[in-house]
Amino acid sequence: MNVKQSKTAERNNTDGCYDVERVREDFPVLGQTVHGKPLVYLDNAATAQKPRAVIRRVAEYYETENSNIHRGVHWLSETATRAYEGTRTAVRKFLNAAEEREIVFVRGTTEAINLVARCYGGARLQAGDEVVISAMEHHSNIVPWQLICQEKGAVLRVIPVDDHGDIVMDAYHRLLGPRTRMVALPHVSNALGTVNPIKQMIDDAHRAGVPVLVDGAQGVPHARVDVRALDCDFYAFSSHKLYGPTGVGVLYGKAALLEEMPPYQGGGDMILSVSFEETEYNVLPYKFEAGTPNIAGVIGLGAAVEYVTALGIDAVASHEDRVVAYAVERLARVPGVRLVGTPGRRASLVSFVLGDVHAHDIGTILDQEGIAVRTGHHCAMPVMERFGVPATVRASFACYNTEAEVDVLADGLETAWRLFSGV
Ligand code: C6P
């Protein structure tokens, strides 16, 4: 048994079950008290906490390897370059991408989508062309497409969602027309928790000859993603929601598409040669990685991928499925709670309102109990409008959350309900 296997085994009970208490020990922040209460961190869709392995790896880089990459012949630079490129290999394996040149490091999901909208959309879209997105998008998968559509005279078409928060598939099929040039979809909705049937939707788009970008910000941390099995053309995710550092993300793109796209930004490292007359761009993926990247962040992401792989993404997903199923059942028993989004397949989060109490007021009361949730529109204003609410309370779960924490949340909500309803 190697070190990684033995660490995984430690986090499993003797009967092989997922040992969440052992997992919690890996996350120093969880040991804190907030307002005198144990911290109950349920804001993982905003950002996940970091395990010691990631924190230490970033510190180790700065303490012993700090150097710029791809530029020096000295030992430190070569060491840092190896570690940085090691993350690319780890991410390629994690996503089951065919080639390392298909993994582009960016600042996060937002930048990945902007890159595709600008470089792919910018080169391909013409007046009257259409880009299809859904009514449950995060603003990061709306605004970049709006910007490029406005510039090119193209049209943004929106697939409706039904009252459960599921995509209306018939409407999707009707929207796939002769002018559709791109479909961009969330793997999992950050505001409703809906897991979209992306494999089917990708196949449908491909039958119409249309490429698909998957916004995987809420997908990658909660499910096994195999970009080759999905056959998606682009897949975007952020390191910080996968237990890695902030300021780093990944754009997976099929090599043939990335090859034909112009660079996103100009600068160092994305070139092979430069003169005042002409610049020859670097090969993939460096063509899209201009300037000194977030080296420590990328190396930290490598540690995060290693951490999640050791836990087992399938084990994490089934643990979270249990917790979220319990949350749905437990919150149904709290007076005043109404779930916003009751999708056929849900991952990792619940969004709800409590009577007509403003979500921020509930968030403030929960905070006094040491409970961190997100309240507001979750950067998904159109879906709030679709459900006729200005804001929701969102509890989102990760590999270290427990059913006992759901009980603490439910108790906190009951307190809030008593306070506001006067019952
Ligand atoms: N959603 C949330 O609390 P960045 O900020 O680039 O890491 O991720 C943007 C993004 C894109 N798509 C989806 C589906 C997302 O959920 C997010 C980030 C956080 O829901 C912060 S707004």
Q: Which two tokens stand for residue 82?
A: 């190896």
What is the structure's pLDDT at 15?
A: 52
How far does residue 138's CA lie from ligand 1's centre (Å)? 7
pLDDT above 60 (res 7) = no
Lay out the sheet containing 374-376: strands in order across.
Answer: 337-339, 349-354, 392-396, 374-376
- Which H or E run contains 364? helix 359-368
The ligand 1 atom nearest the CA atom of 188: 14
Could you tell me what percent of the chain has a pLDDT over 70? 96
Q: Which amino acids are annotated catalytic?
A: 379
Ligand 1 atom at minimal distance to the Cα of residue 215 = 12
Single-letter amino acid code for the residue at 352: F
Pair of tokens at residue 61 = 């880089």
pLDDT at 9: 40
Tokens of 57: 């790896």
The residue contributing the CA closest to ligand 1 atom 2 is: 46
pLDDT recorded at residue 72: 82
* Pocket of ligand 1 contains residue 190 by CB under 6 Å: yes
**The predicted structure's pLDDT at residue 12:** 54
Compute the distance from residue 217 Cα to the ligand 1 centre, in Å: 6
108 lines ligand 1 (CB under 6 A): yes
- Encode pLDDT of 76-111 as tens digits: 999 999 999 999 999 999 999 999 999 999 999 999
How does the average pLDDT of the chain come out, rounded? 96
Task: Indicate which residue's Cα is closest to atom 15 of ligand 1.
Answer: 217
Classify residue 412 as left (phi > 0), alpha (psi -120 to 50) or beta. alpha
Q: Mutation test of ligand 1: which of 113, 213, 238 has the most ligand atoms closer than 8 Å to its C-beta?
A: 238
Q: Is the CB of 50 under 6 A from ligand 1?
A: no
Q: What is the dihedral of CA 333, 387, 44, 223, to 10 degrees?
A: 100
Rounded to the nearest angstrom, the distance between the alpha carbon of 200 and the centre of ligand 1 is 23
CA–centroid distance, residue 38 to ligand 1 (Å): 26
229 CA distance to ligand 1 centroid (A)? 24
Question: How high is the pLDDT of residue 422?
Answer: 80
Q: ∠ CA(50), CA(55), CA(58), 5° rounding?
A: 130
Q: Extract the tokens encoding 382.
A: 């159109």
State the pairing for strand pair 234-238/212-215.
parallel
Q: Is the pLDDT of residue 129 over 90?
A: yes
In this model, does residue 173 exceed pLDDT 70? yes
Query: Which phi and psi angles does 376 have, rounded to 5°?
Result: 135, -150
120 contacts 261 by C-beta, under 8 angstroms: yes
CA dist 245 and 301 (Å) reads: 6
* Ligand 1 probe mutation, 379, 381, 396, 397, most atoms within 8 A of CB: 379
Average pLDDT over residues 278-306: 98
pLDDT digits (tens, 9 = 90+) for 321-377: 999 999 999 999 999 999 999 999 999 999 999 999 999 999 999 999 999 999 999
Q: Is the CB of 138 under 6 A from ligand 1?
A: yes
Mean pLDDT, range 108-118, rounded to an integer: 98
Q: How far is CA 305 from CA 6, 88, 308, in A?
A: 17, 10, 5
The span from the CA of 172 to the CA of 151, in Å, is 25
Confidence class for position 17, pLDDT limits 50, 70, 90? confident
**Closest Cα partner for 342 from 223, 219, 168, 194?**
194
Q: Is 238 in the pocket of ligand 1 (CB under 6 A)?
A: yes
Would you say the CB of residue 109 lies under 6 angstroms from ligand 1? yes
Query: What's the pLDDT at 8?
Result: 44
254 Cα: distance to centroid of ligand 1 (angstroms): 23
In degrees to the nearest 10, what's the CA dihedral of 22, 402, 54, 106? Answer: 150
Give the span between the Cα atoms of 371 and 347, in whole angstroms: 20
- 239-256: pLDDT as tens digits: 999 999 999 999 999 999
| pLDDT classification of 138: cutoffs 50, 70, 90 | very high
H or E, element range at 104: strand 103-106
- The reported pLDDT for the residue numbered 389 is 97
Kindly state the average pLDDT of the residues 276-285: 98
